[in-house]
Amino acid sequence: MPEIRHTPQAPTRTQALAPGERIDAHRHDDHQIVYAGSGVLAVTTDGGTWFAPGTRAIWVPAGCVHAHRAHGHLELHLLGLPADTNPLGLDAPTVLAVGPLLRELILACTRDPYDEGPERQRLRAVLLDQLRASPRQPVQLPTPTDPRLVAVCRRLHRDPADPRTLGELAAGSGAGERTLSRLFRRELGMTFPQWRTQLRLYHALRMLADGDPVTAVAHRCGWASASAFIDVFRRAFGCTPGSHQRMG
């Protein structure tokens, strides 16, 4: 197992990542806000993957081992906060809604990481106020550990448009539909349909970041129509797939 890099102070900076580029597993003694100014960001821990387009940011708590991956050309904004500064009281990675003001505050505070002047301090104070008011978003893809659940989830990762029911997917997994349904709730904290929707949204974001047309993404990810996909996407991310692509 590779050594996990430890950086005591979470860096504040802007960093460009090429499509598919990764930042390997590491941890900080500080909290960190991770935001994608363009492209799509995925943050992965042992517990799962959190993913965010430009209308969302990811809170990574102090001490959490995590890795980053870019989908599309990623403009990554990293903002470190001291371990005793936790405006939302969060102890696990969380996706947060980012409105226009919070977005501009994140961009301003990561533009010159060495500026500690009075204006910067005032900006950070307003940023913390905005974070306190920022709604949390259920945009997470938990990682299963039970081998029976792993087998089912792996099949759907290979083909998110797979239309089979949980009962049909149970064949060959070593567990029946009822057992798998209980495992989804107990181990992943959500129902099978909820997990499949998160999986499809994750793959949809990856495909949109690669420039695939909205209609093609909808069908490749399992939605019956582009309009159904647009509705689910808007409710999850606060914007349409088309406007998301234009922002990126």
The whole-angstrom separation of Cα 84 and Cα 31 is 9
For 45-86, the pLDDT digits (tens) are: 888 888 888 788 999 999 999 999 998 888 899 999 888 888
121 contacts: CB under 8 Å, gap ≥ 6: none
The architecture CATH gives domain 5-137: Sandwich (2.60)
User: Are 139 and 201 spatial neighbours (Cβ–Cβ below 8 Å)?
Assistant: yes
For 87-134, the pLDDT digits (tens) are: 888 888 888 888 899 999 999 888 876 777 788 889 889 999 998 888
The whole-angstrom separation of Cα 43 and Cα 71 is 11
Nearest to 204 by CA among 218, 223, 215, 194: 218
Model confidence band, residue 2 (pLDDT cutoffs 50, 70, 90): low
The correct answer on CATH 1.10.10.60 for the domain covering 144-247 is: yes
In the chain, domain spans: 5-137, 144-247
The answer, as to whether pTM is greater than 0.85, is: no
The whole-angstrom separation of Cα 123 and Cα 131 is 12
The whole-angstrom separation of Cα 175 and Cα 166 is 11
For 14-26, the pLDDT digits (tens) are: 989 998 899 999 9
